[in-house]
Amino acid sequence: MPKDYSRTSRLSEQIQRELALKIQFEMKDPRLGMVTLNHVKVAKDLGYADIYFTVMGARGETDQEIQAQTVAILNDAAGYLRSELARILTTRITPMLRFHYDESMDRGHHLTGLIRQARDKDKANQASDEQEDV
């Protein structure tokens, strides 16, 4: 029977906490917006850690440009962040860090908008049906 709270999930949470602090307070890149780490998934062999994030943007750029730029900045800094993690973690192996933009928030907003449009359309249809009945 597998454990409810495995080693990789504990390590994922610790990596998420530590990286959030490092990115917020130690990375001085002016192009980097407000980064929020949503989820960290560590491979069972501790070889890789996939870090999913969202970012609040900078001035005058599109969302896709901000996302691409932030992914590039974080992946360029992955070696530095990994070495900082190695000092903190008590594991023999420190996972390689791979940063990915978390699109689930964007998909959720899009689906919410579609549902809202469908409800508004239904309300408009009901109102027009009621007026025809009178």
91 and 113 in one domain? no
In this predicted model, what pLDDT tens digit does every residue of 113-132 receive, in sequence order? 889 998 988 888 887 777 77
Tell me: the pLDDT tens digits for 16-49? 999 999 999 998 888 888 899 999 999 999 999 9
Whole-prediction pTM value?
A: 0.77
| Three-class DSSP category at 57 | coil
pLDDT for 62: 76
User: Is 98 in the same domain as 108?
Assistant: no
**Separation between Cα atoms, residue 42 and residue 30, nearest integer Å:** 29
| Number of domains observed in the structure of the chain | 2
Does residue 93 lie in a domain region?
yes
Would residue 2 count as lying in a domain? no
Whether residue 31 is found in the same domain as residue 97: yes
| CA–CA separation, 35 and 69 (whole Å) | 12
pLDDT tens for each residue of 69-126: 999 999 999 999 999 999 999 889 999 999 999 888 778 888 898 899 989 888 888 8
Indicate whether 118 belongs to any domain: yes
Task: Judge if 42 and 63 occupy the same domain.
Answer: yes
